Structure 1
């Protein structure tokens, strides 16, 4: 890897860390950057997951207050999240590179559309705070199955899992959007964490890239936390949506 490639992936990881700390969707920057410098698609996805995970773990510290009293909810969702994350990662590792190459534009487009839906869904959840209902056992069972599916998708690709989890929590009657965000971030860390372990064990990771990207992502996350109010979530989310659309279109046309 030459110095220019290092600079590109470092800049992408820095931007991804900053984006994740403000609005989410950083994978839509880091993953395409690895493709752009010539990394194989499956290994690029694995590398991006491993590299960004420490930064997301550090970012969870900011939600420690909101997580108080969420132990029971986390315990319920942790198992399907972890199992789904492992299955998704194993599916990725068993997907032929040529097949994954064809899937990449669709995955990026799907994740971009999820990110675009995040704000409307969040508004709907906030508006429905007074409409909280008592979910039945069937609702909880369905939500846990859905969370398992989210885990599979998260282990396989990952971008956009946050909005899926927010929607599930909202349907279960959760009304505190800050607590929901905290729980969502913790579950995402679990999903990406077990996926990262699978990727590391498989050897499908570019370790030089991981080293460069991890430190850049942590630095970006720190700066993003400080710039969050100045830049605004809406501006950052719109920028990521535009990037995701451009990348998906360019990959469709490739």
Structure 2
């Protein structure tokens, strides 16, 4: 499970798309907990992965490793970070209140939608 979680983190740090859905699958196989607890663990892990990836991308851009014209748009960073924090709190509040079957259904629908949109573009 640790290898799968690590690979999911690498994937999520670079691409991000459907990282949470993939991580829910990995955690569901490797940890015997309720779906709500797994969702909370997933949220913390995704926050850590995205935070580390963001710092790496900022450092790479600041040191010219992404090209000489790569710049960090800090307004966009603040807007995305604020949205992620609000979404994280709202998602956690809703996720804790949903019955496991409904939460599982939402995870499946979001995962299938993400895969469909990724394949369509």
The TM tier, using the shorter chain, reads 0.5 to 0.7
**2:3 alignment counterpart:** 11
Structure 2 counterparts to residues 66-145 of structure 1, below 5 A: 66=70, 68=72, 70-76=73-79, 78-95=81-98, 99-118=99-118, 120-121=120-121
Does the C-alpha gap of structure 1 residues 93 and 103 become closer, same or farther in structure 2, counting only changes over 3 Å? closer
How far residue 59 of structure 1 moved from its aligned partner, in angstroms, is: 1.3
How far residue 23 of structure 1 moved from its aligned partner, in angstroms, is: 3.1
**1:43 alignment counterpart:** 37
**1:58 alignment counterpart:** 52
Alpha-carbon distance in 2 for matches of 1:120, 1:103: 26
Unmatched tracts of structure 1, length 5 or more:
1-7, 122-254
Alpha-carbon distance in 1 for matches of 2:79, 2:19: 27
How far residue 75 of structure 1 moved from its aligned partner, in angstroms, is: 4.2
With a CA cutoff of 8 Å and minimum separation of 6, indicate the structure with the bigger relative contact order: 1
Do the aligned residues in 2 keep the contact of 1:30 with 1:48 (CA within 8 Å)? yes
Q: Which has the larger radius of gyration?
A: 1
- Output the TM-score relative to the length of structure 2: 0.66
Structure 2 counterparts to residues 117-196 of structure 1, below 5 A: 117-118=117-118, 120-121=120-121
Q: Deviations over 1:186-210 (max 9, x none)?
A: xxxxxxxxxxxxxxxxxxxxxxxxx
Instruction: Judge which range, 11-20 or 26-35, deviates more.
Output: 26-35
- Output the TM-score relative to the length of structure 1: 0.36
